[in-house]
Amino acid sequence: MQLGTRWTSGDEPPAAVPPALRTGIAAVDATIPTDQFGQPRPRWTLTWLEGRPIAELDTGVIVTLDEDGVAVAHHDTEDGFA
Concatenated DSSP letters for 36-48? SS-PPPPEEEEEE
Q: Residue 39: which pLDDT band, with cuts at 50, 70 and 90?
A: confident
Give residue 77's pLDDT.
66
Q: How far apart are the first and last CA of the chain?
A: 29
Task: Quick: pLDDT tens for 7-18.
Answer: 999 999 999 999
Give residue 35's pLDDT.
73
Give which of 82, 81, 4, 77 is closest to 43, Cα–Cα. Answer: 4
Q: Residue 61: pLDDT above 70?
A: yes
Residue 22 has φ and ψ, to the nearest 5°, of -60, -35
